[in-house]
């Protein structure tokens, strides 16, 4: 655990990802260092495996995602013992298979999220952990441009911007702790810990990164990588700019995201 805590998750993510994604993933990676992931572990919606390869020092037993191309990238990271293509609403596992399921910033993108929660509960052993994070009801309200428009009195334009930004973020759910508590309880999942994180100022940095990140998108399409020069002489100034947001207190009163640690009742 000590070696994990000494890792600089900001730098490890910044050298691989557009800065706005790097900041958020770095913050989330720190949370897992205080949690025990009891084997076997399923990474639900593992994507390209980048997060797991940085956040965890051991191989995860299984990474699952519906997108074949992403799974190919995940396999190359070496972060998983097994990667498989499957829908979260119909998992190819028997009941009571896993002691831990993690899902990092995935569930908000799934229209029928209740079906996925039900399946997650099914494949968890009694007493096993389900750990996930999602944007919450503060997400759109914390967007800097919409707040600026509201200060100008342009409330309809602010509302339109919030709706648009949520759409380009592919969010189907930005729910409160109460909504998630009810959703989880219907599936016999009990919340042990939950906290809101990522302050409005941090979200503003993420928000503007969508616009300033165009060069990274071009690099990805032309060269197959987000960052062409992952060195401190190139990224040092950006690292310094992001560091205060990476180091902000874990819990934020108006945080834009929520982190849940839950377990399946016996």
Segment 122-150, tens digit of pLDDT? 999 999 999 999 999 999 999 999 999 99
Q: Residue 1 has what pLDDT?
A: 36
Residue 221 neighbours by CB under 8 Å, 6+ apart: none
What is the H or E stretch that residue 139 is in? none
Please say if the pLDDT value at position 3 is more than 50: no
How does the average pLDDT of the chain come out, rounded? Answer: 93
Angle at 21 between CA 47 and CA 35, to 5 degrees: 70
pTM for this model (two decimals): 0.93
Q: Residue 226 has what pLDDT?
A: 65
Q: What percent of the chain has pLDDT over 70?
A: 95
Q: Cβ–Cβ contacts within 10 Å for residue 156, how many?
A: 8
Give 231 or 11, the one with higher predicted confidence: 11
Domain residue spans of the chain? 2-137+173-264, 140-172
Give domain 2-137+173-264's CATH superfamily. Answer: Vaccinia Virus protein VP39 (3.40.50.150)
Going by pLDDT thresholds of 50, 70 and 90, the confidence category of residue 27 is very high
CA dihedral for 52, 54, 55, 56, sign (positive or negative) = positive
Phi-psi region of 49 (alpha: psi -120 to 50; beta: other; left: phi over 0): left
**β-bridge mates for residue 257, sequence order:** 135, 197
How far apart (Å, rounded) are the C-alpha atoms in residues 253 and 266? 32
Q: Residue 210 has what pLDDT?
A: 84
For the sheet with 98-104, list strands across it: 83-85, 62-65, 41-44, 98-104, 124-135, 257-264, 189-197
Find the mean pLDDT for residues 151-172. 96
């Amino acid at each position: 655990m000590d070696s994990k805590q000494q890792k600089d998750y900001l730098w490890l993510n910044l050298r691989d990802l557009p800065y706005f994604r790097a900041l958020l993933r770095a913050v989330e990676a720190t949370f897992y260092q205080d949690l025990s992931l009891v084997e076997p572990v399923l990474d639900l919606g593992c994507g390209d495996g980048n997060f797991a390869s940085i956040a965890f020092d051991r191989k995860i037993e299984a990474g699952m995602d519906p997108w074949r191309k992403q799974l190919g990238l995940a396999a190359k990271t070496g972060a998983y013992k097994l990667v498989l293509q499957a829908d979260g609403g119909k998992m190819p596992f028997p009941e009571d298979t896993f002691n831990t399921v993690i899902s990092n910033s995935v569930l908000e993108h799934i229209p029928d999220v209740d079906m996925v929660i039900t399946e997650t509960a099914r494949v968890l052993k009694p007493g096993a952990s389900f750990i996930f994070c999602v944007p919450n009801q503060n997400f759109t309200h914390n967007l800097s441009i919409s707040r600026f428009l509201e200060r100008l009195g342009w409330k309809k334009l602010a509302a339109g911007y919030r709706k648009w930004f949520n759409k380009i973020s592919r969010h189907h759910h930005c729910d409160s702790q109460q909504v998630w508590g009810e959703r989880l309880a219907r599936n016999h999942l009990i919340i042990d810990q939950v906290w809101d994180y990522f302050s409005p100022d941090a979200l503003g940095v993420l928000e503007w990164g969508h616009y300033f990140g165009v060069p990274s998108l071009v690099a990805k399409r032309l060269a197959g990588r987000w960052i062409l020069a992952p060195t401190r002489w190139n990224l040092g100034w950006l690292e310094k700019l992001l560091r205060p947001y990476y180091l902000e207190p874990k819990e934020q009163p108006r945080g834009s995201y929520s982190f849940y640690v839950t377990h399946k009742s016996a």
